[in-house]
Amino acid sequence: MGDGKYTRGLADFARSLAAATWGTSFFVRRTLEHGSMFKTKEALIPYLLLVAAMAGGLIWHESENVPGLGRTVTSGKVEVGGPFTLTDQDGKTRSSGDFRGKYQLIYFGYSYCPDVCPTTLGVISQALDQMGADGRRIVPLFITIDPERDTPAILKQYMSAFGPRFVGFTGSVSQITAVEKEYRVYAKKQPLDKNNPKGGYGLDHSSVIYLMGPDGRLVTFYDELIAPDALAKDLKAKI
C-alpha cells in the first residue's frame, strides 16, 4: 500500500516537473528561432537560472507530496529578487518595501531600446487594462539597465507613454548592478560602431517579465513574446 502511494506521488511529481521544464525549453527554442533579443549566448543565462528557480520551487513543494522525496532535498528555492532602494521617475527615493502587499510586474530595460522594451511595456499595459479591477492589484515596475542615460526626467517622459500606473526606477550604476544581480538580469553595453567604442551604444539584455507576490517572492515569469490577452488570462489565474 505504501509502495503504491509512493509510486503514484512520484509519477505525479515527474509529470509536473516535465510540464514545467518542457514549457520553458519550448520558449527558449521558439525565441531562438524567431531571432529575438538574444544577440549573445550570455543573454540566455537568466532564463536558465529562472528555470532552475521554478524547478527548484516545484521540487521543494512536491517533496511534501512524495513520501521519501523530501529527505533528498538539501536546499530550498533558488532566490530571485530581493530588496532594493532606487529613485523613481519623480525623483523620489522608494524601496521595494513600498510595494509589499501588492503583486508587482517587474521589467528591466532602457528608454533608448528601439523595439523589445517599448513593445513589452505595451503588452503589460494592455494586459492590465484587460483585467479590469483585477489589474489594480498589480503594480507594474520598470527598472532601467541604463542609469547613465535614464535620469528621472527621461524616465518620466518615457513612462508616460504606457499609462499612469507604471513606476519607473533608476539609480547609481552600483545600485542598478545590485538589483540586476538579484533578479538574474543580463545586460551588456554594445557599441553602435565597433570602430568607435567610446561613441554611442545599445544594450544587449535579457527580456523577462517577473511576477512578484505580495511577499516580494517570485511567483512566475513571462517572456516578451507573450500576447496581452494570454498575459491577462494567466495573471488572473495567478493572483
- What is the per-residue pLDDT across 36-77, written as a single tens digit (0 to 9) for each? 444 554 455 555 555 545 444 444 444 444 444 433 333 445
For 3, the grid coordinates are: 509502495
Give the C-alpha separation, 116 to 225, whole Å.
Answer: 9
Please check whether residue 29 is in contact with residue 38, taking contact to mean a CB–CB distance below 8 angstroms.
Answer: no
- Alpha-carbon Rg for the chain in angstroms: 19
Q: What are phi and psi of 159, to 5 degrees?
A: -70, -25
Q: What is the pLDDT of residues 154-193, one digit of tens each?
A: 999 999 999 999 999 999 999 999 999 999 999 999 888 8
Please check whether residue 43 is in contact with residue 206, taking contact to mean a CB–CB distance below 8 angstroms.
Answer: yes
Name the H helices within 63-165.
Answer: 116-130, 152-159
Question: What is the b/e burial string over 134-151, where b = at least 16 CB atoms within 10 angstroms of the residue's CB?
Answer: ebeebbbbbbbbbbeebb
Q: How many helices (H) and strands (E) does the chain have?
A: 6, 9
Give the C-alpha separation, 152 to 88, whole Å.
Answer: 6
- Amino acid at site 191: P
Residue whose C-alpha cell is 520553458: 24
120, 204, 222, 82 alpha-carbon torsion, rounded to 10°: -110
Does the pLDDT value for residue 2 go beyond 90?
no
- Amino acid at site 41: K
Q: Is 101 left (phi over 0), alpha (psi -120 to 50) or beta?
A: left
Give the C-alpha separation, 154 to 172, whole Å.
Answer: 15
Q: What is the pLDDT of residues 109-122, one digit of tens each?
A: 999 998 899 999 99
